[in-house]
Amino acid sequence: MQLALSPELEAWRCEVQEFLRPYTHIDGYFQRGDEDALSAFYRELGARGWLSLTWPIELGGEAKSPLYEFVLWDEIGYARIARPPLAAGVVAKSLIAAGTADQHERFLPGIRAGELHFSLGYSEPEAGSDLAAVRCRAVRDGDEYVVTGEKRWTSHAQRSNYLWTLCRTGALDDRSRALTLLIIDLASPEITVSPIWTHDDYRLNEVRLDGVHVPVANRVGSENGAWTVIGQALAVERHMQFPPKRVRRDLEELRAFVHQSGIADDPVIHARMTDLAVRVAETEALTLQLLAQTAAGGDGVVEAADLKVA
């Protein structure tokens, strides 16, 4: 399945492809290699205004349709150059929707330029896929929160400026109704970042927070209101994080390998390849459905959840 684009969007796709041409020799994502090259790539996107395509004009964006953003990251994903920076996805979109004017002024310019980096502080040793079980605690003390806890499997914390942190501000039994989002400066002296190396030498991190002082001004949304902010962000950034052309290329390369290996006619292999092709087509269809909902002004929360498990 291919998205039928307007002439303007086809011209945009061609512009993106031409921009990416010098990068297509790269084997795999920047994240698996040169962190400096990845940062430079994000800055180049920022200089072109491509990290803020859909932002309101008054916040420094171009107010374009989500389709422009989709095409950009679909092509970058197919070229296997980089994943979208967290800052330009869930962080920026959450700040635009639920942040304060002060937060817009402090954080959005750096995100737009590709110079301000965030890591996702959601997962914990006892709260991986079940985010409602988060235990990292934030206790209000005047105009600050004091945060204590641990985050695990955190990508890029060693080079990020801030941790986009899900904290518990109520009883554990209240689950998602007692969670708050805080922006925490990773340069805080009460934070320790330690590497966790995967089998393929990719660095994740353990982030320990031992009484970190965080201004209330760094809270995103209301206290105990994180779940709403997270759900809204999921709907509007899913097409960035999981562009279907990325898995389409994986399927193309797998097909080539199967044919080169002379096993394409094996009934089991043939059935498996057919199943994979159907799954890729489903992912593409769900992405287009989500984009249609978002472009029409809908929240797309259900479609985003469907896409996550596709």
* CA-derived radius of gyration, the chain: 20
> Is 271 exposed, middle or buried, given 0-12, 13-18 or 19+ CB atoms closer than 10 A?
exposed
Q: For the beta carbon of residue 113, count every other beta carbon within 10 angstroms.
A: 17
Measured between alpha carbons, how far apart are the two ends of the chain, in Å?
Answer: 15
Residue of 232, 272, 244 lying closest to 97 (CA atoms) = 232
The amino acid present at 178, given as its one-letter code, is A
C-alpha closest to that of 76 among 118, 109, 38? 38
Catalytic residue among 237, 252, 284, 303: 237
Beta-bridge partners for 208: 150, 192
- The yes-or-no answer on residue 237 being catalytic is yes
Distance CA 132, CA 122 (A): 10
Residues in CB range of 261: below 8 A, 6 or more apart: none
- Measuring CA to CA, which residue among 132, 175, 182, 131 is closest to residue 153? 131
* Residues recognised as catalytic: 237
